[in-house]
Amino acid sequence: MIRDNLDTIRKQLPPGVQLVAVSKFHPLEAIREAYAAGQRVFAESRPQELAAKAAELAAAGDCPEIEWHFIGHLQTNKLKLVLPYVSLVQSVDSLHLLKAVNDWGRAAGKRIPVLLELHIAAEESKQGFFEEDALEVLFRAEEYGNVVFRGLMGMATLSEDRDVVSADFGRIRAFFDYLRSLFPEYGDFDQLSIGMSDDFPVALQHGSTMVRIGTAIFGPREY
C-alpha cells in the first residue's frame, strides 16, 4: 500500500521536485517499507522521535542511504537531538533559533543547511518569519557562516478553499523569486518547500521544488 501510494504521488511530480516522506507518528516498519519502495528522504517534526528513529535505523544498519529533514518547531535546547542526524532543517522559524543553529554548527565545525519558515497562513500557525524579517536575515547572511540558506518553507492556511491556499502559495512563490533576484550570489538558495498531502497539486502549480507528504503515503496518523 505504501508502495502504491508512493507510485501514485511520484507520477504527479514534475522532474526535479523532491518528495519528502513525512513519517511522524508512524512506526519504523512504515519507514522501512517506504525505503524498500525507493524513498530516501524522510521528515519528522518532533526531536525525540527523530533521534530515536534515526539512531535505531543506524544501529540496525537498515536504510543506509536514508536522509532526514526536520520540519517541526525546534526549541534550542533540543538542537543536539536533531542536528547530528539531519541534512536539512526546514523549519527555522525565528532569529533566536537561527542563531542557535549557527552556534551549534560553529562548535561542530559544520555548515547546517536550512530553510527559513515563512509565516504565510492567515491565522493558525504563529510560527515563522514575516517577509521583512526574512529579508533582514538574508541581508546579514554573512553573520551566519555556519548555516547554508537553501530556501523557504511554508504552510498554507488550512482551508478547503483552493483560492485561499493558492493565494498563500502564490505569495511565498513571489517572495522566493524576489529573494533570488535580490541575492543572485546565493546560488544555493534554490528550494521552495510547499505542499502537503491535501494541497501539493496547488503547490506544484506555484513552483514547489519540495513537497512534504505524510498522510497520502502512510495513511492517517494516530496521535
> Applying CB under 6 A, which residues contact ligand PLP?
22, 24, 45, 71-72, 155, 196-198, 212-216
The residue with its CB nearest to ligand PLP is 214
Burial degree of 52 (CB within 10 A; 0-12, 13-18, 19+): middle
Pick 186 or 207: Cβ nearer ligand PLP: 207
User: Closest distance between ligand PLP and the C-beta of residue 57, in Å?
Assistant: 20
Closest distance to ligand PLP from the beta carbon of 86 (Å) = 14
Residue 34's SS3 state is: helix
**Contact indicator for 212, 223 with CB cutoff of 8 Å:** no
| CB closer to ligand PLP out of 22 and 57 | 22
d(CA 161, CA 27): 32
Q: Are 19 and 41 in contact (CB under 8 A)?
A: yes
Q: How far is the CB of 92 from ligand PLP (least distance, A)?
A: 12
CB of 198 to ligand PLP, least distance (A): 6
Element containing residue 191 per DSSP (H, E): strand 191-193
Contact 163, 118 (CB under 8 A): no
Least distance between ligand PLP and beta carbon 217 (Å): 8
> Closest Cα to residue 212, out of 192, 182, 189, 183?
192
Looking at beta carbons only, is 146 or 166 nearer to ligand PLP?
166
Considering beta carbons, is residue 184 or 212 the nearer one to ligand PLP?
212
Closer residue to ligand PLP, CB minimum distance, 24 or 150 = 24
